[in-house]
Amino acid sequence: MTNIKVIKGDITTMHVDAIVNAANTTLLGGGGVDGAIHRAAGPELLAATMKLHGAQTGEAKITAGFRLPAKYVIHTPGPIWHGGNQNEAQLLHNSYFNSLTLAEQNNCHTVAFPSISTGVFHFPLSQAAKIATETLRDFLETAKTVTEVTMVCFDDTTFAAYQDALTQINL
């Protein structure tokens, strides 16, 4: 059974097994949701991510949640939008898919995602929401451990785009 929820809120307050961080390739913090997660988790998160030696776009790596209510943080660098002709859609799919795979491998039942790549990386929101919701739906159809995914949207525009994308894929 696919259980995808869309809420408006602050991902750093989510009581789930894992939250996903829309990271950059250094994994050492940045702006937007990445900076907020690093601030909320405390300096231990930076120390942990330094040991991971970065990640390629679309990859996912995991750390403890430290001071967050979530047990884990899954870090995935989403693609920077360059017009859509540099494999951005596949890379965004990979960010969601690889994050969920890592959640499964770490026995996570509940996972919360931000809208990956739609902030400073400028991925078009409606296209990103469609890719995200389709990837989540498809993964959950065969997932063994992950049973619930929450898309945590920071603002009304993002919330509306993900609600619309869920409606379009009949969830």
Q: Which residues of the chain have pLDDT under 70?
A: 1-2, 171
Q: Identify the pLDDT of residue 2.
A: 57
Give the separation between CA 2 and CA 11, rounded to whole angstroms.
21
Q: Identify the pLDDT of residue 113.
A: 98
Bridge partners of 153? 8
Q: In CATH, what number does 4-78+88-170 get?
A: 3.40.220.10
Q: Identify the pLDDT of residue 1.
A: 44
Q: Identify the pLDDT of residue 160.
A: 97
Q: Which of 10, 17, 34, 138 is catalytic?
A: 34
Q: Identify the pLDDT of residue 170.
A: 72
Q: Identify the pLDDT of residue 171.
A: 57
Q: Is 17 a catalytic residue?
A: no
Q: Identify the pLDDT of residue 169.
A: 86
Candidates 107, 163, 104, 105; CA nearest to 139 is 104
Q: Would you give the distance in Å from CA 161 to the centre of its chain?
A: 16
